[in-house]
Amino acid sequence: MPAPDPLPPGSVPPTKTPRRRRGRRTLSLRWKLVLGVSLILALVNGALALLAYRQLSAQFAHEQAMLRARQAAQWRMLFEDRARQLAQLANLVPQLGARDAHETRASGPPDETAIARLVEQLRAILAANGDLLEFEWDVRAVHFIAAHGQVTALWPAPDAMLPTALVAHYRQAPERPTTLLDCAAECRQYLAAPVLRAGATAGALVLGRSVADMLLTFKEFTGAEVILLGVPSAARVIPATTAAPALRDRIAALPTARRCTGDHTTAHTLVVGDEAFEWFRADPAHTEPCVLIVNRVTEARRVIARIARDSLALGALGLLLSEALLLLLLHQPLRRLRRLAHLLPLLADNRFDRLARRLPPSRRHGWRDEIDVVLDTVRTLNQNLRRLHDARAKAHRRLTWLADHDALTHLPNRRQFNRALRHAIAEAQSAGKHSALLFFDLDRFKDINDLGGHPVGDRLLQRLAMYLGTRLGARGLLSRFGGDEFALLLPDTELARATALAEELQRDIAAVAVPLGARRHRLSASIGLVAIPAHGADPETLLSNADLAMYQAKARGRGRVHVYSAQDDGR
């Protein structure tokens, strides 16, 4: 068997370090780090400023929510307190004519005549004391609703109209006082107080009081403006309001204000020029008119914005100082990195010894940094790459050899054998040299594997390959095709000589014995023989005919040699 022809190790050819092209824009690592850190610090400062702004805004929103709740409660308390005042005043008015009232009460349960006398009595009382009611308590109108439903204007004008909503509410519960805010003509707070005669309800005395004083009182206590809007369809603005006309008109034109929905938990913002306002609905119970409370929040928003600007300014100053310190700290380390960068291309050129000589030493004492770690890593990498380069060359030679050889027996494989077979065919066709091809397999090799196991079979194949290779020497090329199949190429050999060599090969194979337990198993082979080029002009035909001849030898009793003939194709 010819010895394997080792190939030279495959090594990567040296590569040239690319030169920096002229005109190419570059940005050093120093400035990349400065820009990156600056971007991060800018984002952090911006995030902190935004967080502070949001916290201040959230705190402001919480305080405003508490303020709205407090103002809504103050509005309801003021409205209810004025209702109690009107109730007390309604009880006081009949007492101004106490003697006549006593006579009326003594006359029995009220009927239409008694109610008429009561109305006249009240009209007389109001004619005498109406100016006092208007001056002291700002009462603008007094009506009487009889028990049977008739409404009478007592003071000051006999044709003054009473809100139908108040009459409807009174008829639903005539025994209880009823209060209502109405702005049909003039914005007034009405109270209907029941009037009892002889233990029965004779009707209700209705007092109408202007809300202007209530609005001014609310503004004095809270500092907030009050706007009264009409029904949502008309969206009219009631003159009774403490807000400036321009602000009143702007809010009244907003769709959310016209819908008049929500309560003190829902706030709306309006910006007019440099001024900012926040408004909300004070009392959901009032739908006509709709009561809106407006707070000026301009100064609070300016304070929040000023704090946010100051935070950004301090962040920008800190950013500049951080950049200057970073540049100072990066100067020396980057010089060492640039020197290392000029040496690293030596690794790509496989110039490991030169890199080891020129690599600067790392600091072993004192304060070490990451660059010292990188230098140690590059030094270790250089040594490892050198070893890997040598191992790669060795592995390349091994892989190249394995591409043409069988890994178990170290014989040439089918690929190398086919290449030699083509060469023999070309020699036979061009120079008239005759060659022979032997194809054989071991008889009953399966029994050996079954009885001794595959490791025994593998060792047998290795022994046989070594023995036959030694016996054949340079007379032919022995190849393993797989399993127990072998092929032998005998270049420049006549058929008669090849037949004799086949018989010799048969004896050599029989000389190999395999111990299986207490017995020794003698090997034999069935050999098929073809002549080149008589039995084929291409590798495929020759191998096929040799395989057919091998099966003919096996069919005749194993351990035989059979020379291919044309009659074998029909058998």
149-183: pLDDT as tens digits: 888 888 988 777 888 888 888 888 888 898 988 88
For residue 45, the SS3 value is helix
**563 membership: H or E segment, kind and range:** strand 561-563
Dist CA 395 CA 410 (whole Å): 16
Would you state the pLDDT for residue 364?
74
Would you state the pLDDT for residue 334?
81
Would you state the pLDDT for residue 471?
86
Cβ atoms 269, 278 nearer than 8 A: yes
Task: Compute the chain's Rg from CA coordinates.
Answer: 58
Q: Which amino acid is at 136?
A: E
Would you state the pLDDT for residue 318?
87
Would you state the pLDDT for residue 545?
92
Please give the full DSSP string across 281-331, using - where no structure is assigned. Answer: ES-TT--SSEEEEEEE-HHHHHHHHHHHHHHHHHHHHHHHHHHHHHHHHHH
What residues contact residue 571 under an 8 Å CB cut-off, 6+ apart?
A: 552
Would you state the pLDDT for residue 102?
46
Q: Which amino acid is at 284?
A: P
Would you state the pLDDT for residue 241?
62
- Which residues face 209 on adjacent strands? 139, 189
Q: pLDDT under 70 in the chain at which residues?
A: 1-25, 97-109, 230-243, 285-287, 516-518, 569-571
β 561-563/525-532 pair status? parallel
Dist CA 140 CA 208 (whole Å): 6
- Which residues face 206 on adjacent strands? 143, 192
Crossing angle for the helix pair 454-472 and 495-510, to the nearest 10 degrees? 140
Would you state the pLDDT for residue 207?
93
Would you state the pLDDT for residue 460?
86
The structure's pTM equals: 0.53
368-396: pLDDT as tens digits: 888 888 888 888 898 898 899 888 889 88
